Amino acid sequence: MKIALGCDHGGYLLKESIKNHLEKKGFECLDYGTHFTESVNYPLYAKKVGYSVANLECELGILCCGTGIGMSIAANKMQGVRAAVVSDTFSARATREHNNSNVLCLGERVVGESLALVIVDTWLEAEFQGGRHQERLDLVEQLERSLKYKTI
């Protein structure tokens, strides 16, 4: 499975650690940067990973920033992206099983490295349950389409 990775300066160390962890487990990682600790703007990296996942270049994506929140806000602006900020293993499992999230967002300043790696493993191992959850995601998709060119 190919996984897109991205981060800003606030999530750089965690992204590197996740990449190392995933490559050891045999996953192919496409690293969209940043590759440095200098300050950068997180939406640029959310966009790269979001496109990669939405265009099916990568099956899933992982984004790291200071909190995970900015990355999730930016990534969720993109059609077809279902990004979830997670800081516990229960939510990691639930957001795959129920929301079919395709992008995981983590905050380097929120979760420690060891917990983050368990969250990543839990998220990757969980499977979407479909059924009533698919009906709900269909409604989310309708919302996404209906609001695309309208203002409220």
**Count of residues touching ligand RB5 (by CB under 6 A):** 8
| 110 or 137: CB nearest ligand RB5 | 110
**Residue 45 falls in which region: left (phi positive, over 0), alpha (psi -120 to 50) or beta:** alpha
Does position 10 interact with ligand RB5 (CB under 6 A)? The reply is yes
Does position 34 interact with ligand RB5 (CB under 6 A)? The reply is no
CB neighbour class for 46 (10 Å; exposed up to 12, middle 13-18, buried from 19): buried
Q: How would you list the strands of the sheet with 2-7, edge to edge?
A: 28-31, 2-7, 60-65, 103-107, 83-85
Does position 12 interact with ligand RB5 (CB under 6 A)? The reply is no
Smallest distance, Å, CB 116 to ligand RB5? Answer: 14
Query: Residues in the site for ligand RB5, rule: CB under 6 A?
Result: 8, 10, 42, 65-67, 69-70
